[in-house]
A and B are shown apart, each in its own frame.
Chain A
Amino acid sequence: DAGVIQSPRHEVTEMGQEVTLRCKPISGHDYLFWYRQTMMRGLELLIYFNNNVPIDDSGMPEDRFSAKMPNASFSTLKIQPSEPRDSAVYFCASSNAQARVNGYTFGSGTRLTVV
């Protein structure tokens, strides 16, 4: 298995632009998580899906952030409009139904810089 695949690896955008981050989970995993990592706040869970349905989006910072999972093999995290404070590394992770016990498999992340 190729693991959790995220694209792009790096994204530099100007403030006010729309940014879309993409994630392909491991085949057969029915849980998908989006995390944000910053020096100040560490790893923050933004949202997670089960069987393509959003279960908990309480970590999404504000309405500028949205996430979708149109099918079992693809998810997007969109920021519109982007702001400099959104600069961070965004990770996608996936797991099977035993996520609580087995832990997650993380992608390599997308480093977002908003200038």
Chain B
Amino acid sequence: AQSVTQLGSHVSVSEGALVLLRCNYSSSVPPYLFWYVQYPNQGLQLLLKYTSAATLVKGINGFEAEFKKSETSFHLTKPSAHMSDAAEYFCAVSHTGGFKTIFGAGTRLFVKA
């Protein structure tokens, strides 16, 4: 069965610093992986997705994620944090048995001025 684990429920960075949000997955078959972002009082928005075409995936707002099969990881990064990046970020994996998506517990990103 597929699952995702997000390391760290809260991450705090200074404006301009590197953002690194960690995600590890468990899957017996090549997975489809996603990162979603949720701003306060809004729904989730797809940030980027991995579908086996390329291991380094670029998304919106300058975010990118690298699929590392050997580490079963799909960490999200951004070189320079902006105040507007403050939000909650969810890593997710598609369930190969159907069309369900399994979400991680989320990581809340705080950006300090």
Other 16 A-B pairs with CB < 8 A, given A99-B101, A108-B41: A33-B101, A43-B103, A43-B106, A45-B100, A48-B99, A56-B98, A99-B94, A99-B99, A100-B32, A100-B99, A101-B49, A103-B34, A103-B46, A103-B49, A108-B43, A109-B42
Contact B44 A42 (CB under 8 A): no
A contact patch SS: strand
Q: How large is the interface on A (under 10, 10 to 19, 20 to 34, 35 or more residues)?
A: 20 to 34
Contact A55 B34 (CB under 8 A): no
Q: Which residues of A contact B (CB under 8 A)?
A: 4, 31, 33, 42-43, 45, 48, 50, 55-56, 91, 93, 95, 99-109
Contact A106 B98 (CB under 8 A): no
Specify which chain A residues have a CB less than 8 angstroms from the CB of B32 in the assembled complex: 100-101
The distance in angstroms between the C-alpha atoms of A101 and B34, with both chains bound, is 9
Other-chain contact of A102, B49, B100, B104 (Cβ < 8 Å):
B49
Contact A108 B42 (CB under 8 A): yes
Contacts A106-B43, A106-B44, A106-B45 known; A100 to B94 CB distance under 8 Å? yes
Contact A56 B100 (CB under 8 A): yes
The distance in angstroms between the C-alpha atoms of A4 and B94, with both chains bound, is 20
Contact A42 B49 (CB under 8 A): no
Question: Can you list 10 A-B contacts with CB-CB less than 8 angstroms, sorted by A residue number?
Answer: A42-B105, A48-B99, A50-B99, A91-B43, A99-B94, A104-B46, A105-B46, A106-B44, A107-B43, A108-B43
Specify which chain B residues have a CB less than 8 angstroms from the CB of A101 in the assembled complex: 32, 49, 51, 94
Residue of B nearest to A41 (CB): B105
Residue of B nearest to A3 (CB): B43
Residue of A nearest to B105 (CB): A42
CB distance from A44 to the nearest CB of B (A): 9
